């Protein structure tokens, strides 16, 4: 059914079925939790240097290529940075998109552009349009589940989603993720989700306190209560307890991911999608990211970019490669799509400035949305691919240039959402297209 037909049908009769209701009924009737497509998004707030990770430029001058050497991967012709040897060993299981480009160059409008597909009108850390995760949550919303549709994990402040610049916007905080904040290695409490070794509920009042600290306290009281009840259900229903309880994992599996917040959150992400959660975000920031802001914003005034990258590389390489292998080993690679990204790349040319903390001259790279790389794995798509290319200095795409709406259209295709014909209501109830334009990237669509 085309969008015009849907709108026309919706005008006839108070009893007309709404689109969200239709999609909900269809999904519940036809697809079980074990068959529903899912997405895990690993987000590196600040901006990953594409040249120092997935798009090295060994033939460029030293002021472009940096100090790290390229290494061969399992896939002939695909080279990545020496910082990522574990990923190099499993490159046949993931695909690199090296030619995504956009125009939003700050930490507020960059995520909004990348995750909503819409052009941004301001640089405020406030969503203008719903991001694709919140829209998916809206379209797949189901009451009465012991598990939420959407979970956001982070140790970077208390934001439940990737960053405060994105979110459900005019759809309402009901469609924001359930927040999981905390380090599983130092406490057995994740946003108040505390269980003892037998999996029984303790300190239920802590749940309310943690939720009150989250951004949900800005929502209507009934929404806070709804999320509170949902979280209590997670604590009291056996299936939900199992999904969130990392103590049920063998110690060797936890060790394989790494006993870090990043590693254990990635393990939790696998457990959640395996249990039936549709959408999981993990923000790979916080203390383990280092740098001046505990993120990937590696300006020279913030940190020595190459020291920062080297310090976080083993953790980053381990948790991503282990998660990819785990998804494949458990047969989740067909229905779960893993995306690893930041909001933009970083300037090809290295600059040197006096550090705000170190007070010595050090190297850095600045914001660069003109070119960035994104890793995709699972989702039924073939691995071992490199899509697109940037020029010899990594400045801009010279092959297969794509924009954020193409990436989002690709994810919607995986989730079974018709991005060209689906709308959501804005604050006035007017239908707004979930994506202004864009088409799925052929190499990133499921193969029979």
Is residue 266 a contact partner of residue 323, using CB atoms and an 8 Å limit? Answer: yes
Confidence category of residue 187, pLDDT binned at 50, 70, 90: low
Confidence category of residue 120, pLDDT binned at 50, 70, 90: confident
Q: What are the φ/ψ torsions at residue 34 (nearest 5 degrees)?
A: -75, -15
Average pLDDT, the chain: 84
Beta strands in 155-225 (DSSP E): 178-181, 189-190, 193-194
Task: Say whether pLDDT at 5 is over 60.
Answer: no
Q: How many angstroms separate the CA atoms of 385 and 97, rounded?
A: 8
Confidence category of residue 30, pLDDT binned at 50, 70, 90: very low
Looking at the DSSP bridge assignments, the partners of residue 345 are 368
Q: Any idea which of 21-30, 338-347, 368-377 has the lowest mean pLDDT?
A: 21-30
In 3D space, the residue among 444, 363, 381 whose CA is nearest the CA of residue 62 turns out to be 363
pLDDT score recorded for residue 311 = 97
Q: How many angstroms separate the CA atoms of 189 and 104, rounded?
A: 37
pLDDT score recorded for residue 181 = 82
Neighbours of 317 (CB within 10 A): 21
- Angle made by CA atoms 281, 165, 266, in degrees to the nearest 5: 15
pLDDT score recorded for residue 409 = 98
**pTM for the model:** 0.86
- Dihedral of CA atoms 231, 235, 239, 240 in degrees, nearest 10, equals 40
For residues 230-246, average pLDDT: 75
Q: How many angstroms separate the CA atoms of 284 and 265, rounded?
A: 9
Q: Which DSSP category does 175 fall into?
A: G
More confident residue, 62 or 181: 62
Confidence category of residue 230, pLDDT binned at 50, 70, 90: low
The tokens for 244 are 């969130």
Q: How many angstroms separate the CA atoms of 353 and 29, rounded?
A: 59
440: left (phi over 0), alpha (psi -120 to 50) or beta: beta
SS3 140: coil
Q: How many angstroms separate the CA atoms of 229 and 193, rounded?
A: 12
| CA 98, 104, 109, 113 torsion-angle sign | negative
pLDDT score recorded for residue 147 = 84
Confidence category of residue 182, pLDDT binned at 50, 70, 90: confident
Instruction: Let me know if 302 is exposed, middle or buried by CB neighbors in 10 A (0-12, 13-18, 19+).
Output: buried
For residues 227-255, average pLDDT: 80
Q: Convert the pLDDT of each residue in 387-406 to its tens digit.
A: 999 999 999 999 999 999 99
Q: How many angstroms separate the CA atoms of 349 and 49, rounded?
A: 11
Q: How many angstroms separate the CA atoms of 173 and 369, rounded?
A: 29
More confident residue, 284 or 36: 284
pLDDT score recorded for residue 220 = 53
The rounded Cα 355 to chain-centroid distance in angstroms is: 30
Task: Say whether pLDDT at 9 is over 70.
Answer: no
Q: What are the φ/ψ torsions at residue 191 (nearest 5 degrees)?
A: 50, 40
Quickly tell me which residue has 């079974």 as its tokens: 416
Instruction: Let me know if 26 is exposed, middle or buried by CB neighbors in 10 A (0-12, 13-18, 19+).
Output: exposed
Task: Say whether pLDDT at 4 is over 70.
Answer: no
Task: Say whether pLDDT at 97 is over 70.
Answer: yes
The tokens for 425 are 């209501």
Task: Say whether pLDDT at 107 is over 60.
Answer: yes
pLDDT score recorded for residue 1 = 37
The tokens for 55 are 């798009």
Quickly tell me which residue has 């740098």 as its tokens: 291
Task: Say whether pLDDT at 297 is over 70.
Answer: yes
In 3D space, the residue among 386, 392, 366, 391 whose CA is nearest the CA of residue 374 turns out to be 386
More confident residue, 223 or 8: 223
% residues pLDDT > 70 (the chain): 79
Is residue 58 a contact partner of residue 69, using CB atoms and an 8 Å limit? Answer: yes
Task: Say whether pLDDT at 163 is over 90.
Answer: no
In 3D space, the residue among 320, 343, 321, 400 whose CA is nearest the CA of residue 97 turns out to be 400
Q: Any idea which of 10-19, 84-93, 125-134, 332-341 has the lowest mean pLDDT?
A: 10-19
Contacts of 320 (CB under 8 A, 6+ apart): 42, 86, 87, 266, 340, 375
For helices 261-275 and 305-329, angle between their N-to-C axes, nearest 10 degrees: 30
Q: What are the φ/ψ torsions at residue 350 (nearest 5 degrees)?
A: -75, 140
**Polymer length of the chain:** 448
The tokens for 389 are 């290319």
């Amino acid at each position: 059914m085309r969008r015009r037909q849907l709108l026309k049908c919706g005008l006839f009769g108070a009893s007309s079925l709404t689109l969200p209701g239709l999609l909900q009924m269809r999904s519940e009737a036809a697809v079980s939790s074990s068959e529903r497509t899912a997405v895990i998004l690993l987000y590196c707030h600040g901006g990953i240097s594409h040249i120092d990770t997935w798009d090295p430029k060994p033939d460029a001058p030293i002021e472009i290529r940096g100090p790290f050497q390229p290494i061969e991967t399992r896939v002939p012709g695909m080279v990545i940075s020496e910082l990522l040897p574990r990923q190099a060993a499993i490159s046949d299981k993931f695909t690199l998109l090296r030619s995504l480009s956009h125009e939003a160059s700050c930490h507020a409008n960059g995520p909004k552009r990348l995750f909503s597909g819409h052009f941004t009108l301001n640089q405020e850390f406030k969503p203008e349009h719903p991001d694709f995760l919140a829209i998916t949550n809206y379209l797949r919303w189901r009451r009465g589940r012991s598990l939420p549709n959407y979970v956001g994990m982070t140790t970077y402040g208390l934001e439940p989603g990737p960053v405060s610049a994105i979110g459900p916007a005019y759809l309402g905080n009901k469609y924001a993720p359930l927040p999981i904040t905390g380090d599983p290695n130092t406490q057995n409490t994740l946003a108040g989700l505390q269980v003892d070794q037998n999996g029984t509920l303790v300190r239920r009042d802590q749940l309310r306190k943690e939720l009150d600290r989250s951004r949900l306290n800005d929502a209507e009281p009934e929404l806070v209560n709804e999320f509170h009840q949902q979280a209590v259900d997670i604590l009291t229903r056996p299936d939900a307890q199992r999904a969130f309880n990392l103590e049920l994992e063998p110690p060797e599996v936890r060790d394989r991911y790494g006993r870090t917040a990043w590693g254990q959150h990635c393990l939790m992400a696998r457990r959640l999608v395996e249990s039936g959660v549709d959408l999981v975000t993990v923000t790979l920031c916080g203390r383990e990211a280092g740098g001046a802001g505990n993120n990937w914003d590696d300006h020279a005034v913030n940190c020595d970019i190459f020291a920062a990258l080297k310090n976080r590389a083993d953790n980053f390489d381990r948790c991503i490669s282990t998660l990819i292998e785990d998804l494949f080993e458990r047969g989740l690679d067909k229905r779960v799509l893993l995306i690893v990204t930041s909001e933009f790349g970083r300037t090809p040319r290295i600059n040197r400035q006096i550090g705000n903390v170190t007070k010595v001259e050090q190297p850095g790279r600045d914001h660069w949305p003109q070119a960035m790389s994104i890793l995709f794995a699972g989702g039924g798509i073939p691995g071992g691919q490199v899509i697109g290319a940037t020029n010899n200095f990594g400045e801009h795409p010279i092959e297969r240039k794509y924009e954020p709406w193409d990436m989002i259209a690709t994810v919607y295709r995986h989730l079974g959402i018709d991005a060209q014909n689906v709308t959501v209501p804005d604050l006035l109830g007017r239908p707004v297209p979930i994506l202004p334009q864009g088409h799925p990237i052929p190499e990133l669509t499921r193969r029979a």
